[in-house]
Amino acid sequence: MSMPKLHRAWRLALLLIMLAFPVGVSAVDNSSRQPMPPAVRLVLARISPMIKAEDYPHAVEALKAFKTRAESSGGTDGDHPEIGFALGNCYLMLEQHASAVAAYKRVVARDETHTAAWLNMAKACYELEQYADAGRAFEKGYATATEKSPQTLYYSAVAHMLAENHVRAVDLFRRLADEYPDALKPEWKENWVQSLLAMDRARQALPLIRDLARVYTGEKKIQWQEILLYQYMQLDMPKAAIDLAQRLTRQTPTVAKWWKALAHIQLTAGKEEAALAALTIYSYLTPLSLDEKKLLADLNLQLGIPVKAVPLYEAYLKEKPNPRVLERLATAFQQMGRPETALATIETLASRSHDPALQLLRGELLYELKRYDAAVAAYRQVARAKGRHAGRAWLMAGYAAWQMHDWAASKDAFAHAAKYKAEKRSATNALRQLAQQSAD
């Protein structure tokens, strides 16, 4: 069960901070606590029609000309925070974000309590993808505001998250929850979860994920239910995962993904029969992928229902030839008491394949059908390959030769088998019996 994708709408954009263009006085109560000289009021009034007409280039020219005149006369009006704020706003509307940031920095250097400058600087930094700076600017905007807005704290948390400063982001989300519990929107909790998971603090995220799975509807609800299931599995909480998956299958029994999830969870918990039942229901609700067909067939074969496994293996092999699946198909026929069919299933491929497992199964089928000479040849082919099946192949070659009363070949095969740890005991016993039989 793979991790579902989390909501990432916050990566697209933050809401635009409402720009407060000063006309005579600042539109934000505490933008600047510095007195506004008449000359500053006059130039701001002069650019007001330009702003309304969205003629920002001429507004910039007028503001820069005013600053130049003020500097040449030795005055300080050109550095008044509201002049810099207006200039920064014009740059921001012209999407000249670096110039806007520089202007706002000059404003807050003169007046650290200029809330609107901090907020609009945060917006400009965000557009430049300077997320850490944006996060800090949003925090300053919140701290200096007369009327505190939880949304500003949220913007700061998201900016820090984009900067991968998840520790600070989580602190801010926690602060939001503590100070503004009624304002905490589901989308905000989504981003809080994102930061917690990025810090490998999934257990702390669980209450939030449960809440999101509860409050959402439709596809969003399903998405967060999937995430909750996935986290239960990742955190090794099988009982919680099974309980949730079972509840979901009861609530919406026609949603295929819940049966699939339940099957995988039960399988992970070692409950093969329950996994088979869930996966079977899943197969009734949606077409199976190749891997799902194989899994369902394997479970049926493992649990002694080969008749259900056969058509699934056959369907798989029609789309994708695979020696292991062919081997299991033959094993299914063998379990059904149809060794001839099992042998025919693999005979063509096995006869020209050097795959040891196929050859070993072919030998066993030949042995079962009492075709001992062919069985010996198949077993010896596997044994000579010296792979992990070699020991068993020598042992079975010995038994097959014994059935033909070829004592020399049988003794030779058992002697080879006795060199392998897993077969040593059986091979030694067989050699002892052969020796007694010869003595008699």
pLDDT at 438: 67
Assign a CATH topology to domain 287-353: 1.25.40
pLDDT at 133: 97
Q: What pTM was estimated for this model as a whole?
A: 0.74
Model confidence pLDDT, tens digit, residues 19-28? 444 433 333 3
Model confidence pLDDT, tens digit, residues 356-408? 888 899 999 999 999 999 999 999 989 988 889 999 999 999 999 999 999 99
Six-digit token pair at 45? Answer: 């009034």
Instruction: Give the pLDDT band of residue 36 (cuts 50, 70, 90).
Output: confident
| Mean pLDDT (whole number) for 291-315 | 96
Residue 7 falls in which region: left (phi positive, over 0), alpha (psi -120 to 50) or beta: beta
User: What mean pLDDT value characterizes the chain?
Assistant: 89
> Is residue 83 within 8 Å of residue 66, measured between CB atoms?
yes
pLDDT at 258: 96
> Is residue 290 within 8 Å of residue 319, measured between CB atoms?
yes
Length in residues, the chain? 440
Q: Which of 1-5, 73-77, 108-112 has the highest mean predicted lDDT (pLDDT)?
A: 108-112
pLDDT at 385: 85
Out of 20-29, 163-172, 302-311, pick the least confident.
20-29
How many Cα atoms within 13 Å fall on the side-chain side of residue 302? Answer: 13
Out of 71-85, 157-171, 364-378, 411-425, pick the least confident.
71-85
Out of 24-33, 96-105, 215-224, pick the least confident.
24-33
